[in-house]
């Protein structure tokens, strides 16, 4: 169904768009912003004036670009240090927590253990205790809210973790649980989607709004940005490539399906295919087994996942995370050749594939991106009016 644009909504959307462009193009001039957004120069000046006053943005002196009458343009940059998020990255046995900045960086990082079979209330309490200590470093009124990237199948709009194998959780209303223990607004998304957002906002991917992030750890996650919007499906849990059947006579998966990609491409299974021994890694094994049977089994599995992404979502770039990011250099040439042979009609232009440049930071930066996407950069799933009511700081 279509939705009309109220003037206040349009203003906020323009504001978020300008903030995002200033983030992705540091030192950009007002003239360039007007050219890129097709907004009038007066509108750009008006909105950037408000953003400077509210300390989201600052000017950085004269640029080489010449404005009218021979005057030099003034550049704009995102301001750190005035508005913050709390970023929470939840993995199988631990959670990382830090203070997120508008430019994506996450400071004051710390880590807590998550035990086996954890109780959601206990985990929420442990995370809330860490957040309380972090909040001593920043004025409370400057904290927008908490962004969470977590293992599991997540409906971000409902704030619900439907199922997380790592914790054996089902139907956990994680956003409301963490909000009630911290007293802060909370937005939660699946880790891979969070990482996709992080790559788009902070990974130098300004021109790639058709992006897929494939994370391969003990689980397989996929985050897809389609025209800059998160693809989440009609019920919020779309894009679960890990649970696509690649062998209809295969083993049962924890999700209820059979022969899921995740049952073949998870880290333990790959280690077992390669016979990774003590003191070895997937990388060293791939090197030792170069172009032998098990090596090609891994190449085939990785290519199967990537061909699926190319055929279904047709992204311009696929970014890799987890063990796959580490192993990519070892298998890249053979995987690319396999993809090429299996996607005969999709070769031009070829999809770019590369490991995440955010590296180890991608989890926390992704969690930060989930919060900033909703409250600052206009990438959340819901209307701006709904989002703004949740946040103590109105962007
Ligand atoms: Zn499955």
Mean pLDDT of 388-394: 48
Residue 157 CA, ligand 1 centroid: distance in Å:
22
Residue 220 CA, ligand 1 centroid: distance in Å:
10
Mean pLDDT of 245-272: 95
Residue 337 CA, ligand 1 centroid: distance in Å:
28
Residue 213 CA, ligand 1 centroid: distance in Å:
19
Q: Higher confidence at residue 12 or residue 3? A: 12
Does 348 score more than 80 pLDDT?
Answer: no
Residue 259 CA, ligand 1 centroid: distance in Å:
7
Residue 252 CA, ligand 1 centroid: distance in Å:
8
Residue 251 CA, ligand 1 centroid: distance in Å:
10
Residue 243 CA, ligand 1 centroid: distance in Å:
4
Lowest mean pLDDT among 71-75, 164-168, 351-355, 390-394: 390-394
Residues near ion ligand 1 (CB < 5 Å) are: 243, 253, 255, 257, 260
In terms of pTM, does the model score above 0.85? yes
Residue 241 CA, ligand 1 centroid: distance in Å:
9
Q: Which helix or strand (DSSP H or E) is residue 90 part of?
A: strand 84-90
Give the pLDDT confidence score for residue 207 in this predicted structure: 64
Residue 150 CA, ligand 1 centroid: distance in Å:
17
Listed in order, strand segments (DSSP E) in the chain are: 28-29, 57-66, 72-78, 84-90, 94-100, 106-113, 143-150, 153-155, 160-164, 169-172, 186-190, 211-216, 220-226, 229-230, 317-322, 352-355
Task: Walk me through the domains of the chain, giving residue ranges and CATH numbers.
Answer: 7-78 (1.10.10.10), 84-195+364-390 (3.30.420.40), 205-356 (3.30.420.40)
Does 249 score more than 90 pLDDT?
Answer: yes
């Amino acid at each position: 169904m279509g939705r009309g644009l109220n003037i206040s909504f349009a203003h906020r959307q323009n504001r978020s768009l300008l903030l995002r462009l200033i983030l992705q193009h540091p030192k950009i001039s007002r003239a360039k912003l007007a050219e890129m957004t097709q907004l009038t120069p007066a509108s750009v000046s008006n909105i950037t004036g408000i953003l400077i006053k509210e300390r989201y943005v600052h000017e950085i002196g004269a640029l080489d670009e010449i404005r009218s009458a021979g005057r030099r343009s003034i550049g704009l940059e995102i301001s750190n240090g005035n508005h913050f998020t709390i970023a929470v990255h939840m993995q199988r046995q631990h959670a990382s927590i830090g203070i997120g900045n508008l430019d994506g960086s996450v400071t004051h990082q710390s880590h807590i253990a998550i035990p086996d079979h954890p109780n959601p209330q206990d985990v929420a309490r442990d995370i809330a205790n860490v957040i309380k200590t972090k909040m001593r470093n920043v004025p409370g009124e400057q904290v927008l809210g908490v962004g969470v990237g977590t293992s599991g199948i997540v409906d971000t709009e409902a704030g619900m973790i439907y199922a997380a194998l790592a914790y054996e959780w089902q139907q956990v209303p994680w956003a409301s649980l963490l909000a009630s223990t911290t007293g802060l607004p909370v937005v939660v998304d699946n880790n891979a989607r969070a990482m996709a957002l992080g790559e788009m906002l902070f990974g130098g991917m300004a021109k790639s709004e058709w992006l897929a992030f494939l994370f391969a750890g003990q689980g397989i996650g996929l985050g897809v940005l389609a025209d800059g919007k998160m693809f989440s499906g009609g019920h919020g849990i779309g894009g679960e490539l890990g649970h696509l059947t690649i062998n209809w006579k295969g083993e049962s998966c924890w999700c209820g399906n059979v022969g899921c990609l995740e049952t073949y491409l998870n880290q333990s299974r790959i280690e077992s295919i390669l016979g990774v021994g003590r003191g070895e890694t997937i990388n060293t094994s791939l090197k030792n087994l170069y172009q032998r049977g098990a090596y090609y089994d891994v190449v085939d599995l990785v290519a199967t996942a990537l061909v699926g992404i190319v055929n279904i979502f047709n992204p311009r770039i696929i970014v890799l995370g987890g063990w796959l990011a580490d192993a990519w250099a070892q298998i890249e040439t053979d995987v690319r050749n396999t993809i090429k042979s299996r996607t005969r009609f999709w070769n031009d232009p070829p999809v770019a594939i590369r490991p995440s440049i955010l590296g180890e930071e991608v989890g926390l930066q992704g969690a930060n991106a989930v919060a900033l996407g909703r409250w600052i950069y206009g990438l959340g799933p819901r209307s701006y009016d709904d989002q703004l009511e949740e946040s103590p700081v109105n962007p």
